[in-house]
């Protein structure tokens, strides 16, 4: 398989509506492709047609209008720019909640303390390869807020990345009930974290708005702090750094017992244990500080294929329906150091022949 091509790079600025309009215009075809892909996925996993998904998405509009009106305005701009109905875009941004955990996206996340004022935040993002051509690297400039640099899906307002204040986010999907639609969808919660000036302010914002609509894990970090947020609509748990300065997570809750979480990805506990073994081996070999580089993490951790296909570097499982086969679509390593702030991103499975070029954010 040949290396994947570079994704679009968008620089968005202005009012929420202006940011959305430019997003929608620039990624019009990718957004429409996303809708077609998710239409098939919903039909396969939930027996829901896209018109039915759009109808369910109406449940989320009142909360978006009340709690995050600026992001609803941005979604309205995306819809206008892409010449779609607002419900199409709301549905994309609430896809995790509407699916009720029936999508099988896996991911492996890691935060590592390099020094008192430096954290490295990293992730493999695993999802159906069909959305690969609909990913984009996006920067967002807003008055009075840090500039955001993230990798996201076309049409979605918040995802994985960092901001100019050194706050970064990673995501692990969790399959658990309940879901409460008058709370914040997880992709909106990610965006709110990326609009924050610190981990502390991000947590306060989510709590002040009443918490999230579905069970998910956000690994959030800034130069001085990293916290694993095991979030759910009925209660949260926060995971602190280990003595070694590490936090690792996969697709099951480690401490949160507030929700009904049936086993779903058998490889998730195996990946978490493997992540711990690999990082401990690096620690024992004296890796610390500036030796914790993006290249080292890609080569020694995120390209690991132990327990394939459900490995840290995930491969498609041919036994699954094509609409729900996951593989690693990109790896990101963020250096959260205000003196040397930035990230390296590779699209495709790291360490494989399909890995693309090393891209940098900001670009």
Number of CB atoms found within 10 A of residue 245's CB: 18
Structure tokens at 349: 């499975």
pLDDT band at 320 (very low <50, low <70, confident <90, very high): confident
Give the pLDDT confidence score for residue 1 in this predicted structure: 57
**Residues 102, 106: Cα–Cα separation, whole Å:** 12
**Residue 278 near residue 250, CB atoms below 8 Å:** no
Residue 3 has pLDDT above 80, yes or no: no
Residue 213 has pLDDT above 80, yes or no: yes
Q: In the beta sheet, which residues pair with residue 323? A: none
Give the pLDDT confidence score for residue 101 in this predicted structure: 57
How many helices (H) and strands (E) the chain has is answered by 11, 14
**Residue 233 near residue 179, CB atoms below 8 Å:** yes
CA distances from 90 to 57, 210, 275 (A): 6, 19, 35
Closest CA to 150 of 358, 343, 309: 343
Mean pLDDT of the chain: 95
Closest CA to 331 of 310, 317, 307, 352: 352
Give the pLDDT confidence score for residue 90 in this predicted structure: 98
**Residues 66, 223: Cα–Cα separation, whole Å:** 32
State the pTM of this model.
0.97
Structure tokens at 300: 């020694």
> What is the tens place of the pLDDT at every residue in 271-280?
999 999 999 9
**Residues 353, 2: Cα–Cα separation, whole Å:** 6
Residue 314 has pLDDT above 90, yes or no: yes
* Strand spans (E) along 209-354: 216-221, 226-231, 237-239, 246-249, 326-336, 342-347
Domains of the chain: 9-98 (1.10.10), 107-361 (3.60.60.10)
Residue 104 has pLDDT above 80, yes or no: no
> What is the tens place of the pLDDT at every residue in 7-56?
999 999 999 999 999 999 999 999 999 999 999 999 988 899 999 999 99
- Compute the residue count for the chain: 363
Give the pLDDT confidence score for residue 266 in this predicted structure: 85
Range in 37-46, 111-120, 187-196, 294-303 the model is least confident about = 37-46
Question: 290-311 in b/e burial notation, b at 16+ Cβ within 10 A?
Answer: eebebeebbebbbbbeeeebbb
> What is the tens place of the pLDDT at every residue in 127-140?
999 999 999 999 99
């Amino acid at each position: 398989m040949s290396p994947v091509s570079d994704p679009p790079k968008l620089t968005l600025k202005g009012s929420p509506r202006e940011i959305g309009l430019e997003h929608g215009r620039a990624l019009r075809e990718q957004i429409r492709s996303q809708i077609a892909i998710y239409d098939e996925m919903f039909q396969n996993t939930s027996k829901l047609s896209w018109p039915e998904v759009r109808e369910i998405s109406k449940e989320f509009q009142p909360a978006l209008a009340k709690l995050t009106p600026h992001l609803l305005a941005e979604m309205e701009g995306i819809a206008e720019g892409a010449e779609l109905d607002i419900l199409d875009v709301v549905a994309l941004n609430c896809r995790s909640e509407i699916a009720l955990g029936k999508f099988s996206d896996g991911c492996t996340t890691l935060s590592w303390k390099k020094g008192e004022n430096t954290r490295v935040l990293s992730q493999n993002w695993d999802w159906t390869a069909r959305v690969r051509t609909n990913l984009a690297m996006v920067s967002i400039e807003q008055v009075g807020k840090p500039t955001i640099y993230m990798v996201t899906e076309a049409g979605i307002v918040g995802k994985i990345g960092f901001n100019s204040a050194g706050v970064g986010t990673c995501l692990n999907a969790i399959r658990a009930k309940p879901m409460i639609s008058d709370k914040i969808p997880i992709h909106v919660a990610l965006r709110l974290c990326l609009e924050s000036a610190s981990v502390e302010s991000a947590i306060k914002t989510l709590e002040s708005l009443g918490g999230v609509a579905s069970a998910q894990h956000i690994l959030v970090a800034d130069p001085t702090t990293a916290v694993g947020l095991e979030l759910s609509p009925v209660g949260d748990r926060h995971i602190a750094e280990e003595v070694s300065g590490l936090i690792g997570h996969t697709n099951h809750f480690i401490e949160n017992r507030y929700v009904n979480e049936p086993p779903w990805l058998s490889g998730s506990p195996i990946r978490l244990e493997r992540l711990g073994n690999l990082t401990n081996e690096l620690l024992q070999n004296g890796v610390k500080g500036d030796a914790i580089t993006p290249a080292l993490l890609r080569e020694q951790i995120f390209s690991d294929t132990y327990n394939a296909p459900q490995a840290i570097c995930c491969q498609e499982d041919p036994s699954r329906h094509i609409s729900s086969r996951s593989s690693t679509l990109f790896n990101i390593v963020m250096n959260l150091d205000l003196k040397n702030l930035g990230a390296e991103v590779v699209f495709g499975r790291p360490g494989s022949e399909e890995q693309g070029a090393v891209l940098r954010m900001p670009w």
